[in-house]
Amino acid sequence: MISISHIVKRYGQHTVLDGISLDIAQCEVVAIIGPSGSGKSTLLRCLNLLERPASGTIRIGDTVLDTASCTSSQVFALRRRSAMVFQNHNLFNNKTALGNVAEPMITVQKVPKAEAYARAEALLARVGLLSQAQQYPVTLSGGQQQRVSIARALAVNADVILFDEPTSALDPERVHEVLHVIQTLAREQNTTMVIVTHEMAFARQVADRVIFMEEGKIVEQGNAKQVIDAPRQPATQRFLRRLSPVID
């Protein structure tokens, strides 16, 4: 489904992604873990071309792009194949929950308004928010806002949903409801997902594969339970040991 090859991203002299190559299968759920500054968010942002890598190729489905020489229409075509859920939801404050989910269908996909609203309602039901459909974001809790963002990401029928620490800005008691929604999607939906997370128990339980990044490189990857329970690389072991009180 997704194949990236030798992605390099630099900010000035600093190489943030140092030749990342990665294949992700259709319906696979991949968790990316690693220390702060290791390039996790940058990798997601390069995957949907919010950031332009210096070099490397990205393929999503049958859309292939050479990042060193692509045109803006190629960038636009590839960007539409993924949807992103950020740490801080980026909802329109002047639209209801329902409007937020319907909007990208109407503007991006040109779905007729009535159909977009009907589909938006079904998506809000899926994330457990049908009764909040007419509320504006300021009147929703952080966890509810984040679930609206997830419904909106589902709305555009992207090939892959990219999550960048979807729970790290939430109050602890709200984390569970958002993780639960993602877990349900992983089970029921044929959705390919790449999830940057610091929630190791969640990654272990939900992801098919865990990737550990450090300093712009993939240091270790494999079956989620194997990587988290029995990491092979010293860097992964150090990282997980530092987190272990949190896991307990």
Smallest separation (angstroms) from Mg ion to the CB of 27: 25
For residue 145, the partner it binds in ligand ATP, Mg ion, none, with Cβ less than 5 to 8 A by kind, is none
Longest Cα separation, the chain:
55
Rule CB under 5 A: say whether 41 interacts with Mg ion: yes
- Please list, in sequence order, all residues whose beta carbon lies within 8 angstroms of the beta carbon of residue 43, skipping any fewer than 6 positions away: 7, 17, 20, 32, 213
Neighbours of 123 (CB within 10 A): 22
Interaction partner, residue 42 (ligand ATP, Mg ion, none; CB < 5-8 Å by kind) = ligand ATP
And the tokens for 13? 């002299």
Of 79 and 126, CB closest to ligand ATP: 79
Please identify, using beta-carbon distances, which residue of 42 and 149 lies nearer to ligand ATP.
Answer: 42
Asked if 182 and 104 touch (Cβ cutoff 8 Å), the reply is no
Residue type, 181: V
- What, of ligand ATP, Mg ion, none, does residue 221 touch, CB below 5 to 8 Å by kind? none
Q: Which residues bind ligand ATP (CB under 6 A)?
A: 11, 16, 34, 36-42
Residue 42 lies near Mg ion (rule: CB under 5 A): no
| Span near Mg ion by CB under 5 A; candidates 39-47, 123-131, 154-162, 222-230 | 39-47
According to DSSP, the residues that pair with 244 across neighbouring strands are none
37 binds, among Mg ion, ligand ATP, none (CB under 5 to 8 A by kind): ligand ATP
Minimum CB–partner distance for residue 225 and ligand ATP (Å) = 22
Q: Which candidate, 21, 34, 75, 27, places its Cα nearest to that of 52?
A: 75
Number of neighbouring beta carbons within 10 Å of residue 180: 15
